[in-house]
Structure 1
C-alpha cells in the first residue's frame, strides 16, 4: 500500500468531495424516481384494482439505458447506471413510459433536481475547506486592499488549496502572508498611482457613524462601505458560509421574533455584527450563548417602531460584548462621533507588526478601549 505525498492529498480530497456530491445527487434522483413509480402504482391500483407487471430487467436496461445517458448529465447518468440496483430502476422507468409518461420531459427535470443537489453538496464541501483560510487571512492581514483583493479574487480557491499544500509541507503560511503583505501593498499603491486613484480612500457615512462600541476591537478598512452589503462582508473578511451561519444563529436565538431578526440582519450595520461574531469564534467565545440574551432581555422592544432596527443593533452589540454571566443592564452602545473620521489611521496588521507597533498613537480609534471611568476626588 502506497502513501499519498502531501502535494497529492488536496487533489485527493477534492476528488473525494466531488464523488460524494455526485453520489448524493444520485440518491436524490433515485428518490424522485421512486416517488414517481409509487404514484404510478397507486393510480393503477385505484383505477384497475391492480398494478401492471414490471417489464423484465433485461428489456428495461436495454431500452432505458440510452435514454438515461441522453437525458441526464453525464456524471449523474454514469453513476446512476453503475448502481447495484440499476436494473430495478430501469424497470421502474420503463414501466412509467408504458403507463404513458413522457420520459423525455421527466428525466431532464429529474436531472435538474439532482444537479442542484450535487452543486449544493460540492459548494458546502468547498466552503468548509476554504473557511479556515479565510480565517487565517483575516487574522494575519490588516483590513485593507490586499486582504480584500485576496478574498475577492477569482483565483481564491486555488490560493486556499496552495496554502493547504504549504501547511502540509510544514510551512507556516501565516508568516508567509505577513512577510508578503508590505511588498504586495507597495504594488497596490504603485498601480493605484499609475491609474490616478485618489490618495486616500473614503469611508462611507454609515461606517463613520457606526464608530464606537460597535466597532471596538475590530480592524476596519479606511474605505469600508456599509452601503454595499456583499463588499462590506468581504472587506471585513466574513465568508459567505460564516454569514449564513450567523444569520441562522440569530434566528434561532429569537424564536417568535422572526420579523425582528430579519430587520436586524437587514440593517446597514449587520456586517459589523457578523464581524464581531467571527472574532468571537476565533477567540473561542460562546457566540450563541451571548445571542441568547436577545430573547431573555426584551428591552429592545420598548420605543418607537421607526427606531426598532437601531435598538436591535445596539442590543445585539451589547449582548455580544458583555462578559458571559454579566447581568443585562441599560444598553451602553453609543456612537463615538469624535472617532468617526474617514481618514482615521489604519492598523498595521500582521501579528509581528502588531507586536512591534505598541505606541498608542498608532492605534486606530475603533481599536481603542472606551474611556476609563473618572475617579472621584478625595479630600
Structure 2
C-alpha cells in the first residue's frame, strides 16, 4: 500500500482516507465479481476464465484513470492485487457489464467512504467476522446478490474488509446497500448475455412456504429447500448460527432427542431457523420462546408420519407468540362433545343424546338456552 509522509498528521489522515476508499472499491468489485461468477455457474454450469493479468491491466488502466478520482485510482493501481482487480473488471465487461456506467458509480462509493474517514476520527469497537452474516441479512434483501456473497469463496475476505472499514468509522451498511444495487445490475447484465431471466421465477418451495411459516421473513423467490446448505445460504444463516439454533432446540426438548431430530431434519427447518435469526437480531429471547416446545407437547397428538410437520408448526407458533400469551390450545380448544353432536356423520340418536348431555354449550349463555318453558305456578 502507498503510505503517507510520516510526521504530517493531515497528510497521514488523508492517506488513510484514500486507502480506506481503495478498500471499499476492492469490496464492491469483489461483490460484483461474485455475482458474475454465480450467474454464470447457475446458467452455464461453469464460470468463464479470467483474462491474462497483463492484458487486463493494459485494457483497464485508462478507464480507471478517467472514471475514478485521480487520488483513488492512483492508489488503486499501486496495490499488489491491482492485476486481479483489473482481471475482474475485464471479466465483468466481457460478461455484459457497461464499465462506462459501472466505474463512475464505484468511484462515487469510494469518494463517499473517503469523506467519511476524513470527517470521522472516532473509532468503533471491532466486531467478530461472524457478525457480518447478520448484517447482510438485516441490510440486503433476500435474492441473487445476497446468495452470491455468502456462497462466494471470497466471503471471509469480504467480511474481514467490512470489519476494517467499520473500524475506520465507515457506514458499511450504506456501502452494502449501494453495492447491492450494483450487484443487481451485474446480475441482470450477465443474465441478459446468457439469455437467462434476471429475476428468478418463484420456486415451488417459495410458493408452498407462503403463509404462517414465512410471515415477516424475507424469503428469496427461488428458495430451494431441497438443498439444505443452499437454503441456509439463501436465508443468510451462517454455519455457526445454524449450529447454535440446533443446540437451542435440543436444550428446549430435554429427553426428546428423537423429536428434536425430526424437527431439525425436516425440510422446512431452515424457515424456523430464519425466524430465530431475525428474532435474535432484534434482541428477542429466542430460547425462552423455544422452551414452550418442552412444556406444551400438544404436537404429540396426531398421526406419527406427520410428527415432523407438526413440530415445525409448533416451533413457529412458539416463536411468534408473545411471551406470557397462553398456550394455543387454550385459545382454540373445541368442545368435542358439541362438535360430535353437530356432525352429520354421527348417528342421529347419539347426536341427540350428546346434545342432551351438554346443556351449557360453548358460546351460549345459560339464560339463552332453549328448553321447556317453566310453569308460572298459577293454576286455573
Structure 1 residues 331 and 187: alpha-carbon distance in aligned structure 2, compared to 1, 3 A threshold = farther
1:292 aligns with 2:291: yes
In structure 2, what is the Cα distance between the partners aligned to 1:132 and 1:226? 24
Which secondary structure does the structure 2 equivalent of 1:130 belong to?
coil
Residues 110-158 of structure 1, C-alpha deviation per residue, up to 9 Å, x if partnerless? xxxxxxxxxxxxxxxxxx9322111111111100000111111111111
Q: Is the 8 A contact 1:318 1:332 kept in 2?
A: no
How many residues align structurally? 210
Alignment correspondent of 2:129: 130
Q: Is the 8 A contact 1:225 1:232 kept in 2?
A: yes
Residues 79-102 of structure 1, C-alpha deviation per residue, up to 9 Å, x if partnerless? xxxxxxxxxxxxxxxxxxxxxxxx
In structure 2, what is the Cα distance between the partners aligned to 1:190 and 1:213? 35
Alignment correspondent of 1:260: 259
Structure 1 residues 250 and 196: alpha-carbon distance in aligned structure 2, compared to 1, 3 A threshold = same
Q: Pairwise mapping of residues 358-369 of structure 1 onto structure 2 (< 5 A)?
A: none
Compute the displacement of 1:258 (Å): 0.5
Structure 1 residues 221 and 206: alpha-carbon distance in aligned structure 2, compared to 1, 3 A threshold = closer
Q: CA RMSD in A?
A: 2.2
Compute the displacement of 1:205 (Å): 2.3
After TM superposition, the structure 1 stretch with the greater mean CA deviation from structure 2, 207-216 or 223-232, is 207-216
Compute the displacement of 1:160 (Å): 0.7
Structure 1 residues 175 and 305: alpha-carbon distance in aligned structure 2, compared to 1, 3 A threshold = same
Q: Is the 8 A contact 1:204 1:227 kept in 2?
A: no
Structure 1 residues 243 and 197: alpha-carbon distance in aligned structure 2, compared to 1, 3 A threshold = same
Q: Is the 8 A contact 2:206 2:221 kept in 1?
A: no
Higher RCO structure (Cα 8 Å, ≥6 apart): 1
In structure 2, what is the Cα distance between the partners aligned to 1:328 and 1:213? 17
In structure 1, what is the Cα distance between the partners aligned to 2:151 and 2:198? 22
In structure 2, what is the Cα distance between the partners aligned to 1:274 and 1:190? 33
Compute the displacement of 1:250 (Å): 0.3
Alignment correspondent of 1:241: 240
Q: Pairwise mapping of residues 183-202 of structure 1 onto structure 2 (< 5 A)?
A: 183-202=182-201
Max radius of gyration: which structure? 2
In structure 2, what is the Cα distance between the partners aligned to 1:151 and 1:205? 23
Q: Is the 8 A contact 2:293 2:318 kept in 1?
A: yes
In structure 1, what is the Cα distance between the partners aligned to 2:144 and 2:172? 19
In structure 1, what is the Cα distance between the partners aligned to 2:208 and 2:164? 42
1:214 aligns with 2:178: no
In structure 1, what is the Cα distance between the partners aligned to 2:141 and 2:327? 33
Structure 1 residues 249 and 173: alpha-carbon distance in aligned structure 2, compared to 1, 3 A threshold = same
Alignment correspondent of 2:170: 171
Moved >3 Å (runs of 4+): 330-333
In structure 1, stretches of 5+ residues that fail to align are 8-127, 334-379
In structure 2, stretches of 5+ residues that fail to align are 1-12, 20-126, 333-380
Alignment correspondent of 1:158: 157
TM-score by length of 1: 0.53
In structure 2, what is the Cα distance between the partners aligned to 1:260 and 1:206? 24
Q: Is the 8 A contact 1:204 1:226 kept in 2?
A: no
In structure 2, what is the Cα distance between the partners aligned to 1:165 and 1:131? 14
Compute the displacement of 1:277 (Å): 0.3
In structure 2, what is the Cα distance between the partners aligned to 1:265 and 1:182? 35
Q: Pairwise mapping of residues 266-281 of structure 1 onto structure 2 (< 5 A)?
A: 266-281=265-280
TM-score by length of 2: 0.53
Q: Is the 8 A contact 2:203 2:221 kept in 1?
A: no
In structure 1, what is the Cα distance between the partners aligned to 2:309 and 2:235? 21
Q: Is the 8 A contact 1:294 1:319 kept in 2?
A: yes
In structure 2, what is the Cα distance between the partners aligned to 1:178 and 1:233? 21
Alignment correspondent of 2:138: 139
Compute the displacement of 1:331 (Å): 9.9
Which secondary structure does the structure 1 equivalent of 2:129 belong to?
helix
Which secondary structure does the structure 2 equivalent of 1:179 belong to?
helix
